[in-house]
DNA sequence: TATAAATCCGATTTATTTAGTAGTATATAA
DNA sequence: TTATATACTACTAAATAAATCGGATTTATA
């Protein structure tokens, strides 16, 4: 599974909203774009996808913006990844049910390997929520802070 | 990591040669292409990459063709995958050393996740040799055989 | 020494995907 | 009613994928 710019942007945007989830803050797209160095109009498209999937909601007009519909602890990385990037499987024949790839579909040992890779990948991205990411981000930032302080 | 047609073809071609490795058989590209339903001219390009990497060698002229330079047990899936598909990492910043992706490279929790995914994927594709694939292929074929027999 | 069989190699082509950009419409708070 | 914001559709440029084309070169053998 490759992560495109689009997917990377989506994850950063969701993380941005996750950090503002407490108190039900509404965040305008300009802020998300500027803070994460994402092209504004491109991010619009991405936010519409996230909204269409029910992950975020929005309010128009002055004071409007985007916000998560669920708490960060209930949003898994895998959900966003699948939304933007599509299948986790490295090849279509590794899906369940498998999409036909070759005549040997019933006896192709490669297919088993790709299914293993998909399962391992899914276990990781579905095992992490945005609450986990926020926590880890804080840890990394404070460690980095400390590093500078010691110099 | 996504597997392209090119990568899929390359794996099938190497497996084809692996099955002919005993007795040092030399296999013409036409046979590999026909048996695996791979466009002949496309396969030419792929074989040249494999040869350039020292994985296979070739003999020109009548009676010529391709053959593995090493026994199947000494060729890991990961080697072919990396040759054709490039990096295993789902995003460049997950490489070691990381390629810069965002300003937060030192404190990006996503990067850690992608590194985990890359490690899990690498462990799988580097843990399997073409000898393993051949063995598994035989198992699957005989199981499939048996299945038909029982009807 | 022709000839046929085979690899070698660079260029071109076609389609798809990626990563945006542009422009307009619509909603809403003040 | 105006400024601020999202909603939506369409378009475009660049890169990548998946071949295809047209030969050049090598080699066994008849």
CA atoms lying within 13 Å on the CB side of residue B138:
6
Q: Which two tokens stand for residue A105?
A: 């579909």
pLDDT tens for the 151 residues of chain A, in order: 899 999 999 999 999 999 999 989 999 999 999 999 999 999 999 999 999 999 999 999 999 999 999 999 999 999 999 999 999 999 999 988 888 777 777 778 999 999 999 999 999 999 999 999 999 999 998 886 655 544 3
Footprint of strand D on the protein (CB under 7 A): A 28-30, 41, 44-45, 47-48, 51, 58-66; B 4-6, 39, 41-42, 44-45, 59-64
Note the pLDDT tens digit of each residue in B59-111.
Answer: 999 999 999 999 999 999 999 999 999 999 999 999 988 887 777 777 789 99
* Beta strand extents in chain A (DSSP E only): 56-59, 65-68
Q: Which candidate, A119, A66, A131, places its Cα nearest to that of A90?
A: A119
Q: How far is CA A54 from CA A51, A70, A95, B151, in A?
A: 5, 9, 25, 48
Chain A residues bordering chain B (beta-carbon distance below 8 Å): 1-3, 8, 11-12, 15, 36-37, 77, 90-91, 101-103, 106-110, 112-114, 116-117, 120-121, 123-125, 128, 132-134, 136-137, 140-141, 144
**Residue–nucleotide distance: A85 CA to C22 C1' (Å):** 25
Strand C nucleotides, any atom under 7 Å to a protein CB: 4-11, 18-23, 26-30
- pTM (predicted TM-score): 0.93
**Residue–nucleotide distance: B52 CA to D14 C1' (Å):** 29
Neighbours of A56 (CB within 10 A): 22
Which residue of A lies nearest to B141 if distances are taken between CA atoms? A107
Contacts of A1 (CB under 8 A, 6+ apart): A81, A85, A87, A88, A89, A90, A121, B1, B2, B90, B117
């Amino acid at each position: 599974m490759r992560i495109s710019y689009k997917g990377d942007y989506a994850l950063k945007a969701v993380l941005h909203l996750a950090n503002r989830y407490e108190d039900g803050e509404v965040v305008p797209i300009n802020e998300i774009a500027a803070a994460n160095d994402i092209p504004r109009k491109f991010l619009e498209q991405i936010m519409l996808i996230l909204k269409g999937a029910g992950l975020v909601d929005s309010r128009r007009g002055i004071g409007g913006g985007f916000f998560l519909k669920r708490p960060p602890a209930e949003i898994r990385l895998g959900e966003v990844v699948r939304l933007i990037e599509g299948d986790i499987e490295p090849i279509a024949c590794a899906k369940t049910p498998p999409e036909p790839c070759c005549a040997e579909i019933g006896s192709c040992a490669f297919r088993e390997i790709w299914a293993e890779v998909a399962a391992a990948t899914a276990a990781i991205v579905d095992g992490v929520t945005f609450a986990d990411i926020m926590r880890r981000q804080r840890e990394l930032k404070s460690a980095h802070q400390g590093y500078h302080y010691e110099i």
